[in-house]
Amino acid sequence: MMYYEKAQPGLTTELIHQRDKDDRNVNYDIKGVREQLYEDFKGLCYLCGYSNPSNAIEHFRPHKKADRVKMFDWNNLFYACEHCNGIKGAGFENLLDCTKIKGIEQKIIFKYDPNQPHRHKVTISNNNSGSPDTIELLQLIFSIDTTSKRRMGVQTLEKQLKKELKNFDLFIDAWMADPNQIHEEIIKEQVNNTADFAAFKRWQVRMNPDRYPLVLIDWFVD
């Protein structure tokens, strides 16, 4: 989970018009909404941080089919993958809002340990987030203790995360061997909120100062 700045006022006017047009109308996926959300969230699921091709429109605060204000509220429309959206459902109402908190990933520890048993390599833990719901949801997203269908989603996430962190280390090695401007820019992109699993990369840097130079932390820009 990273900080993403939503465009303002975004599609607010168009969505209000759609909301008030017909009480039976539930179509908030109107022209421009999906495209702007893709741009705002950098094409990434705001929960797992992966550029999953199944990413789609998601309601941050559940509307439960009755609250049309929440249903058509531009600031309540987020970008999430099918796996995360399916787990979140309407059961989590007190989540940290990643569009309002800069440095949000500092409140949650995202850890990947390749030495742990297969499919137990990811751990999500609290770091004074003040939001048990957020921690619980993220733990479920990366947990194999779920249904067989969702377990496949977890396996896909872990596979992609492993690949992304391996490539990150290769970029680090190249930069340390030859700290030129090109290699530096690549590393900065890797820890930016436009990169897959950037929260994991940032915590990998924070927790392993012997492996990653401290200057990398100065490159964590939201």
Q: What is the pLDDT of residues 116-147, one digit of tens each?
A: 876 678 999 999 999 999 999 999 999 877 67
Q: What is the pLDDT of residues 167-194, one digit of tens each?
A: 999 999 999 999 999 999 999 999 999 9
Q: 34 and 138: one domain?
A: no
16: left (phi over 0), alpha (psi -120 to 50) or beta: alpha
Q: What does the mean pLDDT of the chain come to?
A: 93
Q: Is the dihedral of CA 64, 70, 73, 78 positive or negative?
A: negative
Pick the closest to residue 208 from 159, 177, 172 (CA basis): 172
Q: 67 and 136: one domain?
A: no
Q: 41 and 111: one domain?
A: no
Q: 80 and 116: one domain?
A: no
Instruction: Look at residue 2 and tell me if it is in a domain.
Output: no
Q: What is the pLDDT of residues 18-38, one digit of tens each?
A: 999 888 889 999 999 999 999
Q: What is the DSSP string of 131-185?
A: -HHHHHHHHHHT-SSS-HHHHHHHHHHHHHHHHHHHHHHHHHHHHHHS--HHHHH
Instruction: Look at residue 166 and tell me if it is in a domain.
Output: yes
Q: 43 and 119: one domain?
A: no
Give the domain extent around 77. Answer: 12-88
Q: 212 and 116: one domain?
A: yes
Q: What is the pLDDT of residues 45-67, one digit of tens each?
A: 999 999 988 888 999 999 877 78
Question: Which of 58, 88, 118 is the endpoint of a domain?
Answer: 88
Q: 110 and 190: one domain?
A: yes
Instruction: Look at residue 30 and tell me if it is in a domain.
Output: yes
Q: 215 and 185: one domain?
A: yes
Instruction: Look at residue 147 and tell me if it is in a domain.
Output: yes
